[in-house]
Amino acid sequence: MKSSSDKSIRRAAALLREARRGVALTGAGISTPSGIPDFRSPESGLWKRYDPMEVASLRAFRHNPERFFAWLREIASGIHAARPNPAHYALVSLQQAGYIHTIITQNVDALHQRAGARHVLEVHGSLETLTCTRCYHKFRAADYMEAYLENGDIPRCADCGGILKPDVILFEEQLPIQVWHQAQEAARTCDLMLVAGSSLTVMPVAGLPMQALNNNAPLIIVNKAPTYIDVRAEVVLRGDVAELLPLLAEETLHG
């Protein structure tokens, strides 16, 4: 089994070394080693405990913001305490070496940026900023985080007093259109796509690898569970991304 895995890592590294416009597509699996739970895993996903339409939809936020912020507090606390793990740093090393140009992420935790990544497209938004629901002014979440996490204070606009909505994409919301267009363009024009820690079950993001394949870009998948597109991938590495991505980066850079 180990020799088979080593061979796959060498093959994936060879593909990466040929890339000049590589794209990494990351999901919750790249952040779970940092202690951030995912949403959909059968055993421990957050949707096993909550009905997403009751706590994480736009309707829920508008009709009962108190309940929304009470639910979000646990998640925000975990993200605030989390630190980038070896998988994040491995992608940064590949980006700095010029093999990965763009990182498209479904995560809202900004761990890629904290690890030093550049050109990160957050297609599901971010918890780093807040927008007033009344006057639409934007604010840094860090300025409200202490009072929210310690006391549960709902963040309100310093200008008009309106409730500040975290800039994450809730159920019933559209993806941020400019970021989504950039992600599609990156997928259509890349010369390699590396999927890391995503089950590729959430549309429309799950369709991005198909756009890369339509451009004849090779596909590498690193994930614990199978995905719908494994059969089309040049290399599939099955396991923990925090273990496999550093091995892949080391082989690419120094193998």
Q: What is the pLDDT of residues 97-120, one digit of tens each?
A: 999 999 999 999 999 999 999 999
Q: Residue 238: its pLDDT value, please? A: 96
Q: What is the pLDDT of residues 21-42, one digit of tens each?
A: 999 999 999 999 999 977 555 5
Same domain, 135 and 192: no
Same domain, 119 and 235: yes
Q: Which residues contact 167 (CB under 8 A, 6 or more apart)?
A: 125, 126, 127, 128, 129, 130, 131, 138
Q: Residue 87: its pLDDT value, please? A: 98
Same domain, 88 and 74: no
Structure tokens belonging to residue 104: 């498209």
What angle, rounded to 10 degrees, do the helices at 2-17 and 241-254 form? 60
Burial class for 150, CB neighbours closer than 10 Å (0-12, 13-18, 19+): exposed
Same domain, 117 and 180: yes
DSSP state of 163: B
* Domain CATH number, residue 26: 3.40.50.1220
Q: Residue 37: its pLDDT value, please? A: 79
Number of domains in the chain: 2
Q: Residue 49: its pLDDT value, please? A: 57
Same domain, 59 and 137: yes
Same domain, 147 and 199: no
Q: How far is CA 150 from the centre of its chain?
A: 26
Q: Residue 41: its pLDDT value, please? A: 52
* Domain CATH number, residue 46: 3.30.1600.10
φ and ψ of 190, to 5 deg? -70, 160
Same domain, 130 and 120: no
Query: Hey, which residues are catalytic here?
Result: 124
Tell which of 143, 168, 193 closes a domain.
Answer: 168
Same domain, 233 and 139: no
Same domain, 224 and 189: yes
Structural domain boundaries enclosing 236: 1-36+84-124+174-255
Tell which of 114, 136, 168 closes a domain.
Answer: 168
Query: What span, in angstroms and rounded, lies between the C-alpha atoms of 230 and 199?
Result: 10
Same domain, 130 and 48: yes
- pLDDT one digit per residue (tens) for the chain, 255 residues: 454 589 999 999 999 999 999 999 999 999 999 999 775 555 544 545 556 667 788 999 999 999 999 999 988 898 999 999 999 999 999 999 999 999 999 999 999 999 999 999 999 999 999 999 999 999 999 999 999 999 999 999 999 999 999 999 998 899 999 999 999 999 999 999 999 999 999 899 999 999 999 999 999 999 999 999 999 999 999 999 999 999 999 999 997
Same domain, 142 and 249: no
